[in-house]
Amino acid sequence: MSPNVVRMVRQRAQNRCEYCHLPVKAFSLPFPVDHIIARQHGGEDASDNLALSCLHCNLHKGPNLAGTNPENGEVVRLFHPRKDEWAEHFVWYGPIVTGQTLVGYVTIQVLAMNAADVVALREELIAEGVFALG
């Protein structure tokens, strides 16, 4: 992936994870560029298939395109940063992100967006004024 494409993805994402919104500036390592639809599923390097992702979200998402609804086992697609509006699927309650839709709920589960360590990190970043909800 060219440096220009990586730079464009970072700028478009406003230097924050497009899944959990953690800011790049809170970390010493750069965030990876995620293939929303993994190459192994036919995803390309086109900008509409790329998203900035923190390491936590990236590792948990992996090549997944969907997760399951724990209530009925239904397969539900994951949030797609290029096609979906974040605020339609998620809402903040302090450092906890909650799902507004089934897509949001399942994405939170698959990406472990409310893992204890991530919530603690968000609390610290909010207190420092580095992480703004929204």
Going by C-beta distance under 8 Å and a sequence separation of 6 or more, which residues neighbour residue 91?
97, 98, 100
Domain boundaries, the chain: 3-128
Q: What is the pLDDT along the chain (134 residues), one digit of tens a residue?
A: 889 999 999 999 999 999 999 999 988 889 999 999 999 999 999 999 999 999 999 999 999 999 999 899 999 999 999 999 999 999 999 999 999 999 999 999 999 999 999 999 999 999 999 888 76
Question: From start to end of 1-134, where are the E strands?
Answer: 33-35, 50-52, 66-68, 75-77, 90-93, 96-99
Task: Return the DSSP state at 52.
Answer: E
CB 107 within 8 A of CB 86: no
